[in-house]
A and B are shown apart, each in its own frame.
Chain A
């Protein structure tokens, strides 16, 4: 990867000549329009005036040489996953029920990005509230740039799709609950960097599951992804689960890594081949061994889906057709009737299923057996990871068991089969461990295959170093 391909290079040049910002922005706005016309669906409704207003303000910053001029992201256009609130831009988390909602505030990550001179370009498409692995549970379904008949992955499908599609300088803010940054990064050949739970503030993120949601970065290369993560991370008193440690982009030490052999087994042959070949190449840099995580293999999907659906069903209870989003006529209706009508009409099938599953697992009589049990099992699974980390600096596996599937293939999957696709990404997400997906190679029909590295809590530095080595 050449220096001229990085955001850092772009920012340095932009500080010398503002026309570089203008040209890049004009070009990427054109791409956004083209992607809309071609129904590639990466971007939610595009607001060109909003972008132009930001450009005008930024030009003043250039003239004044103010703090934004010296910002790490000066002039960089950023796309934002729809679930993250941006002041004045419709923010729906991919759901019909929030149509028309325009936040009065910026999420913390957006404040950070703006302070560093970034331009918020547009919201990107996603599965409704993050419920999905293929970005198909939504109205505008993003299409894989490598093959438009295939999924971008999910739930941050639009973010990864647009990152792979654009030929301009750009960064994408994504979000992961069970793997929604790593999965689309893998399917679209990008770098997807998910931090430790709590390193990036969730203030302004429309919640899926509070103990699992993590905002992170999707970019064309590791350097850019790490830079974005550095900008958006940090303690925020408005998020009660925010950690004191932010992420600083610096090298981490890696000596010994281990392949999680049980995560490999269920993967497609081609995925195994490409990922193993890449790992072979890494043997000149690190000692590579094997490890087994039998408890995670057996129980992490179950524990994850119990916890995620429980938390989601609570969070979605606030969406009831009042105060924002879709609202109806209240005349002559009792509140139960009014809420049920709107919720039943506007939530998609996957959202309804998860609400039902989560409500069930929290109900009295079932709560101890499911919800509480899952929380105890989670501790067990985190302990299993930490045991492995006593010996190894990073754990490796394929990001996804397959390449991006075709839409007609996805239609035939049952909900359980959908869940099973998350077998590699869910364990790290459940444990709140930072992880990165980097492109390891391509299948015979030129579809990207991702290699994932998982680090201990707060060791994002190792992921940064590792990803740069893999890319080189």
Chain B
């Protein structure tokens, strides 16, 4: 894998994907820091050959299933209890526009 060019544009693109809008000041600060981490740390993995199976968990875990039996869930009031009052309406939760 060739060396990644960590540019301001790449970081802005990634940030947008992650729903983060960075200020110019933040970008100025982050670009060299992130460059250093990707080039000096992450890219170290390029040095080593690893044909092993990936360990998505460190200890072997196999698929577990449970019976598909319905259980009581939260009441509407409980489900809304952490929602800000200004975003509650007639038992609904108001969200931002989708379309």
Contacts and interface: CB of A to CB of B under 8 A. Distances in A.
Interface of A: 100-102, 104, 196-198, 211-212, 237, 240-241, 243, 295, 298-299, 301-303, 305-306, 313, 317, 320, 322-325, 327, 329-330, 332-341, 343-344, 347, 349, 352-353, 355-357, 359-361, 363, 366, 369-370, 372-380, 382-383, 414-416, 419, 430-433, 457
B1 to A, nearest CB: 4
Contacts of B57: 197-198, 211, 241, 432
A334 B96 contact: yes
Nearest to A339: B19
Contacts of B19: 317, 320, 336, 339-340, 343
A interface secondary structure, majority: helix
A102 B80 CA distance: 12
Contacts, number: 189
A359 B17 contact: yes
Contacts of A339: 19, 96
Given A322-B95, A323-B93, A340 B20 contact: yes
A408 B23 CA distance: 26
Nearest to A458: B59
B29 to A, nearest CB: 8
A379 B55 contact: yes
Interface string B38-66: 10111111111011111111110100101
B95 A431 contact: no
Interface residues of B, number: 56
Nearest to A240: B64
Given A353-B34, A356-B11, A379 B52 contact: yes
Contact of A377 (B18, B45, B58): B45
A416 B36 contact: yes
Interface of B: 1, 4, 10-11, 14-15, 17-22, 26, 29-30, 33-34, 36-38, 40-48, 50-59, 61, 64, 66, 74, 78, 81-84, 86-87, 93-98
A385 to B, nearest CB: 10
A323 B82 contact: yes
Nearest to B74: A104
Contact of B42 (A306, A335, A376): A306
B87 A431 contact: no
Given A101-B82, A339-B96, A377-B50, 7 more contacts: A305-B41, A320-B19, A322-B83, A325-B82, A356-B30, A359-B17, A416-B36
A344 B21 CA distance: 6
Contacts of A305: 37, 41-42
B61 A302 contact: no
